[in-house]
Structure 1
Amino acid sequence: SVLYNFFFPLSFCPVTEDLIRRRAEHNGYEIISLEEISLHQQNIEKIEHIDKWCKELKIVYFQNNLIPKIENLGHLKKLNYLNLALNNIEVIENLEGCESLWTLDLTVNFVGCLSSVETLRNNLHLRKLFLSGNPCTEFQGYRQYVVATLPQLEELDGIKITRSERIKALQGLDELKRSISQQEQDYLRRRATEKEQEVQRKVASQEKGQSGRSSDSDEEQREREFWNTPCSFTPESRLEAYRHVEEKRKAEEKKTEKKQKPPRTLVTSSGQVLNINEPKLDFWLTEDEDNNTIILDLAVYRHMDTSLIDVDIQPTYARVCVKGKIFQLVLPAEVKPDSSTAQRSQATGSLVLTMPRAEGEIKVRKTITRPPASTPNRGSCISKQDVKRRCAVPEKLEVDPNSRTAVDFTNIVPRQSSAPDPLQHRPKKPLSTAMAEFSEDFIDDPEVPPLI
């Protein structure tokens, strides 16, 4: 046994709480009140914890695993059905505490100690027992011995036990026990020989595998030899086949494992932002001069959920993460991230980013024509080019009011002109006469007070 454990190390696949909770989906993932659980085909090599976490269990499926021993089930008082078919069990034991056990299935195991069925006498409610495919079923007198040993049984290996069969089984029971005991001894000796042969074969295969580095053809040759070499059906051979399949599966996973991609460079060490289009999407970048905005139209997949899209707008670039893939574009001008919007079209699914410019002044493109600031005196001379230049100055509104120079109107000195101004010597007319000249319907009403 020590040599076997050395050459066949047991790397247990335990029964974890997470495994049980995942299998308790029908019970709302609650394991305390769980009454039925299916743990078949989980490569379990040891039963543990289940009797402490799930004391209300009534039905348990453990078939098609690598369990070598029945253990840690004695506290399940309400257990009614236990399925341990297709495992590596050699002895029936540790089920005395399962007071409500009604059906026990041990089909296709390695039970060779037929006398171990006597431990089931305390299970008074046991009605069905399945031992088909076990070495003990080949013993002469197997059925008679089980029927006589377990009087509470009603069905053995799917065949009902009649009253006459039970009476015949009880006759000559002492002699039948001696025969069964002798056959057990012979079986145990054969098992000891099989274990030694398995250990020797394992040592030879390991030495052959370590002889040198093998090529693909040698690996294929050993694979054919492993499956074509005849061996006895034992717990050791079954476990070895499982280990071999697992090693091949892990080796294939390593071969097909994708190489890790190098980390993506979005911004260089010098601070330069790069243009990236990992999802390979079509896009259109336009500038709206009327609204002073930059518009980015990204052709995102139409049926993709919006939760898979992440948008990040910075003053100089826009970044969109589409299902883990980065789309990054450097903008032609600085924008305002806080005022930007992201909308998705319900018809095409495309993503539209509207980003206002973040310039220091607002420029008005059209030219405004206005008269000169002051009327020139008769004595001054202004060229036509100067008048045209003054009248065609574009309007410019500055955001910063401090950039203008304040004018002190108190210190302005009027400029003296050498030529007389004819407007100053023009005689003043009364208001009524002046208004009458501009309006034909003017009426001079003396009762109306004069304007000041």
Structure 2
Amino acid sequence: MARITLEMLRRRAEHNDGSLLSLEEVALHRQGLERLEGLQEACPRLKIALLQDNLISRIENMRKLKDLEYLNLAMNNVTCVENLEQCESLTKLDLTMNFIALSGLMSVKRLEVNHNLRQLYLMGNPCADFDGYRSFVIGSLPQLANLDGSDVTHVERIVARRELRRITQELETAARTKIETIATVDEIASIEPDHRPWCAATRVLDNENIESTLADTVRSTSSSKTYVKESFEPLPDDIADVKQKNQGDFKFRLIESDDDTAIELELHVGKFIDTSLILVDIQPMIVRVKIKGELLQLKLPHEVSTDSSTAERSKVTGKLLIKMPKLNWHVKPKTAIVKVQSRAEDQSAKVTYHGMGSDEPPDV
């Protein structure tokens, strides 16, 4: 089973340039997560946490998330509402299709101190089958404006407040009477899949079966065919037909090297973007870079040697530097001083030359 790690969070924070301290929204659904951990330390400014369809059994390690407004834990293994009292900005909580039974329904009262809470979803939990379920929740949480997608009416609020004491007594009695046994994964695994009761252990086993099936599919696919990495489209025969493109609105500099022997492309890439998502293609008069499928295509001012070109990426800043040596271009030699035959015997001239085929200075 997976755990919430810094690397996982950075991959999910690419829209925020990989920065976690200022991250306001994170989507971690369908990751096979069993625990809530690390979010309050890594992402203290988090406002939206999407954690649906995992295997989380307990709400914990959330007390420092003072800006959290929306927490989605639908389709997990939660049995009790807890440890959210200090999430002062919480306005929406989704616990759809968990395993909150009658005894767990009593814990809803803990949300009374979350004064900004307006929307709560508990549908699909065992507790929702209790006759007085809706009135109990509305009476316990007077700040609610919507329960399970239905607006709380003024009449409902009055009735719930009047009947809360009686309903609470009935709920406590029903919770004591109903013996709630929690089956282990090993116990459920011994039952045929089609006859297993729907419980937290069944959800864990179903997830394991899905992961096993996906792994088998990947292995089968890998052995039967070679994965083809996304490549560049063919260039037209006439270089004049090539258009410059910057689909990702990338920041870049295309300059000549200090000694005029090469063309250099400096491209600003987010330091948390995986290098496997970057493709580089160098043609004699064209350089192309793809980052996460978005193309930067530039014409070069001079023909370059494709075989001698290099691409390097800084581990600190993530900046990409592509060096492309000019074709048939030598280092500019130092200034040469030659005698010039003239009327003045002591007259001389400074001549700067560029070597092409020979390193000898031209005749003057």
Classify the TM-score, shorter chain: 0.5 to 0.7
- Which residue does 1:144 correspond to in 2? 135
- Matches of 1:91 and 1:76 in 2, distance apart? 19
- Which residue does 2:56 correspond to in 1? 67
- Which residue does 2:203 correspond to in 1? 238
Deviation at 1:305, TM superposition (A): 3.8
Q: Does structure 1 residue 132 correspond to structure 2 residue 132?
A: no
Specify which of 132, 150, 158 is matched with residue 159 of structure 1.
150
- Matches of 1:71 and 1:235 in 2, distance apart? 18
- Matches of 2:20 and 2:172 in 1, distance apart? 43
- Matches of 1:47 and 1:201 in 2, distance apart? 24
- The answer to whether the 8 A contact 1:140-1:180 is kept is no
Larger mean CA deviation between 67-76 and 162-171 belongs to 162-171
- Which residue does 1:106 correspond to in 2? 95
* SS of match in other structure, 1:171: helix
Alignment of 1:33-432 (within 5 A): 33-112=22-101, 113-187=104-178, 189=179, 191-192=180-181, 195=183, 199-202=186-189, 204=190, 226=193, 229-254=194-219, 257-258=222-223, 305-306=281-282
- Matches of 2:115 and 2:12 in 1, distance apart? 30
* SS of match in other structure, 1:47: coil
Q: Does structure 1 residue 22 correspond to structure 2 residue 11?
A: yes
Name the structure, 1 or 2, with higher relative contact order (CA <8 Å, separation 6+): 2
Which residue identity does 2:151 align to in structure 1? K
Q: How many residue pairs align between the two structures?
A: 235
Larger helix proportion, structure 1 or 2? 1
* SS of match in other structure, 1:166: helix
Deviation sequence 1:39-89 (CA, Å, 0-9, x none): 112221111111011111111111111111111111000111111111111
Structure 1 residues 164 and 110: alpha-carbon distance in aligned structure 2, compared to 1, 3 A threshold: same
Which residue identity does 2:174 align to in structure 1? Q
Q: Percent identity?
A: 38
Q: CA RMSD in A?
A: 3.0
- The answer to whether the 8 A contact 2:188-2:201 is kept is no
- Matches of 1:82 and 1:161 in 2, distance apart? 20
- Matches of 1:72 and 1:254 in 2, distance apart? 37
Structure 1 residues 37 and 255: alpha-carbon distance in aligned structure 2, compared to 1, 3 A threshold: closer
* SS of match in other structure, 2:195: coil
Structure 2 gap segments, 5+ residues each:
225-279, 284-303, 308-364
Deviation at 1:176, TM superposition (A): 1.1
- The answer to whether the 8 A contact 2:282-2:306 is kept is no
Deviation at 1:178, TM superposition (A): 1.3
- Which residue does 1:353 correspond to in 2? none
Deviation sequence 1:405-452 (CA, Å, 0-9, x none): xxxxxxxxxxxxxxxxxxxxxxxxxxxxxxxxxxxxxxxxxxxxxxxx
Which residue identity does 1:99 align to in structure 2? E
- The answer to whether the 8 A contact 1:64-1:87 is kept is yes
- The answer to whether the 8 A contact 1:114-1:184 is kept is no
- Matches of 1:27 and 1:305 in 2, distance apart? 27
Which residue identity does 1:35 align to in structure 2? E
Structure 1 gap segments, 5+ residues each:
1-11, 206-224, 260-303, 308-340, 345-452
- Matches of 1:140 and 1:342 in 2, distance apart? 78
Deviation sequence 1:319-340 (CA, Å, 0-9, x none): xxxxxxxxxxxxxxxxxxxxxx
Larger strand proportion, structure 1 or 2? 2
* SS of match in other structure, 1:104: strand
- Matches of 1:126 and 1:26 in 2, distance apart? 28
